Structure 1
Amino acid sequence: MDAGTCGHGPPGHCRWGQPAGEPAGCFMELYGAPLRMGCFDWDLDTGLMRMDATAHEVFDVRPDEYDGRPESLAARVPTAEAHRLDQIVAHALKDGSSTYGAYFRVRCRGGTLRWTHTNGCIRRDATGRPRRILGIVRDATRELGDSPPAVRERVDEEAERRRRTSIVQGTTAALAHARTVQDVIDVLKDTHGLAHLGASNLVMGLVEAGRIRLVAEGPVGSFVPGTRVTRIDEEYPMSEVVRTLAPRYIESAEDFAASYPLLWPHITDLGITSAAYLPLIAQARPIGALGLLYQDKTGFTVEERNVLVALGSSIAQSLQRAMFYEQEKDLAQGLQQAMLPRTIPGVPGAEIAVRYRSAALGRDIGGDWYDVIPLPGGRVGAVIGDVQGHDTHAAAVMGQLRIVLRAYATEGHTPAAVMARASVFLHELDTERFATCLYAEADLSTGVVQFVRAGHLDPLLKLTDGSCQRVPVDGGLPLGLSAEFGRLDYPVTALELEPGQTLLLCTDGLVEVPGADLDDGMRALSELATSGPRDLSKLADRLCGIVDGRGGDDDAALLLLRRRMTDAPRPGGRLQQHVAPNDPEALAEARHMIRAAVRAWGAGERADEIELVADEMITNALMHTDGSAIVTLRVLSGPDRRLRVDVEDSSSALPCRREAGEDGVSGRGLLLVDRLADVWGVDARGGGKCVWCEFIVAATTDAPEDLRS
């Protein structure tokens, strides 16, 4: 250090630039050259603190024992004193002060304590950020030794008062952030936690079914065998304070040995000279006990006992809050998991991965869910949804809605009907909750997927080249709201899923970030999926990793469905729908399915012709038979790519082509079929017949740009 830092300042001034004789004046001038006074230069950016030889003498450390870091002085500065100094310096750095000063004690090599004083000058940059501390440290033994006993007593009292204040403030502040029992334990076991308490060893136990289970002990190596679980009626200090609900202060080693002969032989090697055991009481009942063991003190003053009782109360309240939090979170998570499917069934022709992540903040759970529904004919239903709210009621509604939606799908209803019926069910529950949902029904033999969306996010599609794109799906109102407003028409969007392609369905908790646009979240998820691994399970873990990393207050559900490469020979697309008589809703859904399918399959300019012919065939089956009709659309591969329409009914009567006449309102159906279709015919079936027709359509290798129905 240069002379401007360590030597005297200008004539008549001390190193701080103040006139001699001022209260903060130069101690060299006050006490003369023989006074031991060292200098230090503390670089706050690097954490290194250089000291001169005299400063080493003040701390009673050799140069080879000090590595430039303040932590190296721990052997010389008692823990409580070090913590008090840390608080003084931290307060000065935060409140904009330019200097600070403090008395503290240093433990010499022989074990004796001596008074020391330090002054620091804080250097800040242009922004006010502290960068360096230049200061002195001096032996204050002569100063306080020459003072009257009352002065020394006031210094000791002030130091003790600051220590007690720091105990209450430090521990309470740390415990305020504890959410779980383990958080409370971590606060107490942490090095600074022990410093707050002024103890060298710590033990804590929780009361469980008439016993005390040890949950924390420290530092490492201080565990006493046989005390992991003890009975409340045993002769141990923690058992005693739980029985009596009163603290137990052990003021000397002799007191410890005489009072607890079972425990004392196991802790003699720890050098314990006193101990304080506190009952942890919450709502007038003991929930545990805390033991603080000391190595360098005997006896407890009235003020120390008051501080320990206050600390015990604070710890007990934090511990009970943490226990309630864990119990309620376990209950909520158990309910959530019970409502979700326990296992995902194996589906031939598909790989499936699902994930659920609960909210990182708070104990509440949400109504997010997923489901996979095996259906006849090589089909599978995939569901992702989110009930409004984050509580157990949302989870209960979610469970009912999931079961009802699964039942409607397995009954054979079309995707649009499944969604409409689920909306009516939710509305009739009278819960004042709504839900968003996306239902996808995939025919794995053909790859045709029908989407129905109720206020939910669009799905994503990961192609075989690894790229990922958003699939725009027409949608209706959320479940519950559509029934309330009488808008139960849910459009169907069809997509052909190629072998190796993957559908990605998720809830908004996976993409929504407070303050950010939802579309940006979808793009980020798409980019993450593009760069993600090929393995479906690993991809699911990576996508959910963004939720694990950022935390948040919303749940997230994810469902990935990939069409297998090996199980997917491609005969073309195939769709089928049942149309009941006197059911205009089913007829409208069939027409919508046909319109969506012919466009998704690339029928091009023949799309209108196919729709018209199919509509006429369905109408004839419903008008001229007593039963229902089954409509099937298929893409036939071969020399010519053909789209085939089959309409089955239960009547054996064959259709007759006839002229309608100028004023006739019927009779033109088969005429249109004959004129527009490339080929048509009638096949007899065991219980009826099948009227069919085929249209030659151009081969297509690319999905149409607009996937909307």
Structure 2
Amino acid sequence: MVDRAAGAPSLPDDWPAQPELSLNLNRMGSFDWDLASGLMNLDPAGHEVFDLRPGEFDGHPGSLKLRVPTDEASRLDALVSRALKSGSQHYGAYFRIRCRDGSLRWTHTQGFIRRDSAGRPLRIIGIVRDATEELADSSARLEVDAERRRQTSVVESTTAALAHARTVQEVIDVLRDSHGLEHFGATSLVMGLLESGGRIHLVADGPEGSFVPGTRYTRVDDEYPMSEVVRTLTPRFIESKRDFADSYPRLWPHIEGLGINSAVYLPLIAQGRPIGALGLLYGDRTGFSSEERNVLVALGSSIAQSLQRAVLYDQEHDLAQGLQQAMLPRRIPAVPGAQIAVRYRSARLGRDIGGDWYDVIALPGGRVGAVIGDVQGHDTHAAAVMGQLRIVLRAYAAEGHTPATVMARASVFLHELDTERFATCMYAEVDLTTGVMQLVRAGHVDPLVRDNDGGTRRLPVEGGLPLGLSAEFGRLEYPVTTVELDPGQTLLFYTDGLVEVPGADLDDGMQMLTALVRGGPRDLQLLGDQLCDVVDERSGDDDVAILLLRRKGAYTPQTGGRLQQHVAQNDPEALRSARHMIRAATGAWGARERSDEIELAADEMITNALMHTDGGAIVTIRVLSGVERRLRVEVEDRSSALPRRRDAGESGVSGRGLMLVDRLAEAWGVESRGSGKCVWCEFMIPERPKS
């Protein structure tokens, strides 16, 4: 808009003369906008409409922003751009200007677009007028204001709802719910996501029963409205049934009977690139006003931003879940004498990868190790630490270390990683022949035990500090809790995400879990699924790992029960653990009355092996079935030198070991092994009562 009298820039020679007819009497001004040069000629009456003084307008439309508020200017720019691109010959809109005194005044503009023979726009000639009197009637003004507020509310409420949508499905749910469709005024919606190779994947369709066969996947160059808007990046407003039928003859026959009268398809554009398309279908209207088009285009932009976040979230979630699954065992070994079920569910909120894990380790002699743990944090670092810790703990267990030693060494390993992370963990070694179970807990939640009749109870387990922290503070002692798992009983390990409910105490979560297990199906796989369903419904913000182990009653090897422990030289902790193993086994196998004798004899044989050989010892305790039930203790070392009985002098402190073994045991002896020898002794123990 150029005020020539005010010394505005020179205009092109072919700039048209001022309209001869003055419109001042109607408080109406005119303008002539040359699109090639970008200059606009605004007559004096137009200056008055905009409340402009000479020199305040320099012929460039941008200088009108002095009087046009930013939101109004954006709306007008979008309106003019759509009219130019769509091939329209004219446009019109009401808008407000801010007068010199700060008040707002209603104004109306109407423009006529002149195009060349090829349809390219050359210039816009139009009018602007004061619409104050036109909208002076209070009911009209209230109606306009109410509609504007409604449209603003639509944008604000939808944007606010989408802000909480994290996944693509949640975005669809926000748009689909009754309030969302009510805001849009639409009957139903369809949504497609652009995939690689120019393929559009239909991820939402409606109304129910309206899916068109062959449209689940379409291409950008297909003759469908969704393909068109992705291809052209331009909204498509279908204003009538006739428009729909003429424009999309392949699609219309399939939806003709659904009562659809009009539709709008919006390209979903994020960061300048199409990511999909949204279609809103209407059954009770035809045509779209300029205001409605503006709102829909604005909503399309907001939806696109949310959808892009959701697509990235889903991709990251899938990647995180895949990485987490890769860190977990690829398969659970089939363990004779046990039924096992494992489950893992990733977090639904926050970061979607964590340090929860489980593991099942088949051990010699009919034993099995069961592990559950949780590394601090929810990120890839936590998952990486988890993977290393799982493998190390498995290796220590497979080497034959006691549960206490396994846990202590795993803690040292984690501390030496220097990750500043700690981990809670529960480890159990179960002898499936006898049911003797040794449990060690490192800051983890207590397990549950379910009986044959469904009764479920919390199993208190003595505990130490979490892994990593116990090494840092020099408190590597992990007490062992020994119990017996009867045939048919089920052990449940889990991470705290299963029982920690936001806003509730941990005890409440434990009671809830106990009730679920008590009333759950007997089949372990079904029980695992049911527990995961509870996690999914709760949409927790923590990962969950579950391990279920049931001892079968029919598995009884000929040798009876068997436990084994490696005792290295200069490892007093391993020696204490071996003693504890022997004490626990004698109690669990019905030899409690002779436990002191058995422990003393075993201690003498172990001490003898450690003192008189260069290596460690392997301690094995087993039950021998036969005419008489016997408990056998074996101590194997790598020395071929046979032990011999010696008489101790009056002040001697050695030489009494084998004498004690001879006095305490019913039988003892020495066997040569390939790389060493085995010293053994046997004790008669009472038969187990018939159950």
Is the pair's TM-score, using the shorter chain for normalization, greater than 0.5? yes
Displacement of 1:511 after TM fit? 2.2
Structure 1 residues 269 and 377: CA distance shift in structure 2, 3 A: closer
TM-score of the two chains, using structure 1 as the length reference = 0.70
CA contact (8 A) 2:426 2:444 kept: yes
Which residue of the other structure, out of 166, 170, 175, is the alignment partner of 1:179?
Answer: 166
Which residue of the other structure, out of 241, 258, 267, is the alignment partner of 1:279?
Answer: 267
CA contact (8 A) 2:661 2:668 kept: no
Which residue of the other structure, out of 181, 186, 189, is the alignment partner of 1:199?
Answer: 186
Structure 1 residues 499 and 253: CA distance shift in structure 2, 3 A: closer
The aligned residue for residue 559 of structure 1 is: 547
Displacement of 1:442 after TM fit? 2.0
The aligned residue for residue 455 of structure 2 is: 467
Displacement of 1:208 after TM fit? 1.9
Deviation readout 1:524-560 (Å, 9 max, x if unpaired): 4334433433322233334444433433212221111
Confirm or deny that 1:693 pairs with 2:681. yes
| SS of alignment partner, residue 166 of structure 2 | coil
Deviation readout 1:682-701 (Å, 9 max, x if unpaired): 24334455433344566776
Displacement of 1:490 after TM fit? 2.9
| SS of alignment partner, residue 614 of structure 1 | helix
Instruction: State the distance in 2 between where 1:273 and 1:549 align.
Output: 39
TM-score of the two chains, using structure 2 as the length reference = 0.71
Confirm or deny that 1:354 pairs with 2:362. no
| SS of alignment partner, residue 658 of structure 1 | coil
CA RMSD of aligned residues (A): 3.4
Instruction: State the distance in 2 between where 1:464 and 1:224 align.
Output: 53
Instruction: State the distance in 2 between where 1:292 and 1:655 align.
Output: 91
Displacement of 1:266 after TM fit? 6.3
Structure 1 residues 307 and 699: CA distance shift in structure 2, 3 A: same
**Matched letter for residue 181 of structure 1:** V
The aligned residue for residue 656 of structure 2 is: 668
The aligned residue for residue 90 of structure 1 is: none
The aligned residue for residue 509 of structure 1 is: 497
Structure 1 residues 162 and 376: CA distance shift in structure 2, 3 A: same
Structure 1 residues 196 and 351: CA distance shift in structure 2, 3 A: same
Instruction: State the distance in 2 between where 1:363 and 1:262 align.
Output: 44
Of residues 173-182 and 390-399 in structure 1, the stretch that sits farther from structure 2 once superposed is 173-182
Structure 1 residues 698 and 520: CA distance shift in structure 2, 3 A: farther
CA contact (8 A) 2:191 2:277 kept: yes
Instruction: State the distance in 2 between where 1:508 and 1:197 align.
Output: 43
Confirm or deny that 1:168 pairs with 2:152. no
Alignment of 1:524-543 (within 5 A): 524-543=512-531
Gaps of 5+ in 1: 1-147, 704-709
Displacement of 1:510 after TM fit? 1.9
Alignment of 1:516-665 (within 5 A): 516-568=504-556, 573-601=561-589, 603-604=591-592, 606-636=594-624, 642-651=630-639, 653-665=641-653
CA contact (8 A) 2:621 2:633 kept: yes
The aligned residue for residue 130 of structure 2 is: none
Instruction: State the distance in 1 between where 2:259 and 2:504 align.
Output: 58
Instruction: State the distance in 2 between where 1:633 and 1:571 align.
Output: 11
CA contact (8 A) 1:446 1:571 kept: no
Displacement of 1:580 after TM fit? 3.6
Deviation readout 1:41-84 (Å, 9 max, x if unpaired): xxxxxxxxxxxxxxxxxxxxxxxxxxxxxxxxxxxxxxxxxxxx
Percent of aligned positions with the same letter in both sequences?
75
**Matched letter for residue 183 of structure 2:** H
Confirm or deny that 1:450 pairs with 2:438. yes
The aligned residue for residue 227 of structure 2 is: 239
Structure 1 residues 628 and 314: CA distance shift in structure 2, 3 A: closer
Which residue of the other structure, out of 387, 391, 412, is the alignment partner of 1:424?
Answer: 412
Which residue of the other structure, out of 664, 674, 681, is the alignment partner of 2:668?
Answer: 681
Structure 1 residues 528 and 664: CA distance shift in structure 2, 3 A: same
Structure 1 residues 639 and 512: CA distance shift in structure 2, 3 A: farther
Instruction: State the distance in 2 between where 1:322 and 1:330 align.
Output: 12
**Matched letter for residue 337 of structure 2:** G
Instruction: State the distance in 1 between where 2:360 and 2:239 align.
Output: 66
Structure 1 residues 230 and 552: CA distance shift in structure 2, 3 A: closer
Confirm or deny that 1:489 pairs with 2:490. no
Displacement of 1:152 after TM fit? 5.8
Structure 1 residues 539 and 302: CA distance shift in structure 2, 3 A: closer
Instruction: State the distance in 2 between where 1:658 and 1:223 align.
Output: 93
| SS of alignment partner, residue 397 of structure 1 | helix
Instruction: State the distance in 2 between where 1:519 and 1:267 align.
Output: 55
Number of matched residues? 555
Structure 1 residues 513 and 238: CA distance shift in structure 2, 3 A: closer
Of residues 644-653 and 320-329 in structure 1, the stretch that sits farther from structure 2 once superposed is 644-653
Instruction: State the distance in 1 between where 2:677 and 2:376 align.
Output: 48
Instruction: State the distance in 2 between where 1:308 and 1:613 align.
Output: 87
CA contact (8 A) 2:666 2:684 kept: no
| SS of alignment partner, residue 385 of structure 1 | strand
Of residues 515-524 and 286-295 in structure 1, the stretch that sits farther from structure 2 once superposed is 515-524
The aligned residue for residue 212 of structure 1 is: 200
Instruction: State the distance in 2 between where 1:221 and 1:680 align.
Output: 82
Instruction: State the distance in 2 between where 1:182 and 1:514 align.
Output: 24
CA contact (8 A) 1:448 1:575 kept: no
The aligned residue for residue 132 of structure 1 is: none
| SS of alignment partner, residue 542 of structure 2 | coil
Displacement of 1:305 after TM fit? 2.4
| SS of alignment partner, residue 218 of structure 1 | coil
Structure 1 residues 504 and 642: CA distance shift in structure 2, 3 A: same
Which residue of the other structure, out of 307, 315, 318, is the alignment partner of 2:295?
Answer: 307
Structure 1 residues 360 and 276: CA distance shift in structure 2, 3 A: closer
Structure 1 residues 441 and 297: CA distance shift in structure 2, 3 A: closer
Deviation readout 1:60-115 (Å, 9 max, x if unpaired): xxxxxxxxxxxxxxxxxxxxxxxxxxxxxxxxxxxxxxxxxxxxxxxxxxxxxxxx
Instruction: State the distance in 2 between where 1:500 and 1:469 align.
Output: 15
Instruction: State the distance in 1 between where 2:346 and 2:297 align.
Output: 38
Alignment of 1:324-403 (within 5 A): 324-403=312-391
| SS of alignment partner, residue 632 of structure 1 | strand
Structure 1 residues 280 and 653: CA distance shift in structure 2, 3 A: closer
Instruction: State the distance in 1 between where 2:626 and 2:497 align.
Output: 46
Displacement of 1:282 after TM fit? 1.2
| SS of alignment partner, residue 668 of structure 2 | strand
Of residues 491-500 and 341-350 in structure 1, the stretch that sits farther from structure 2 once superposed is 491-500
Instruction: State the distance in 2 between where 1:429 and 1:564 align.
Output: 39
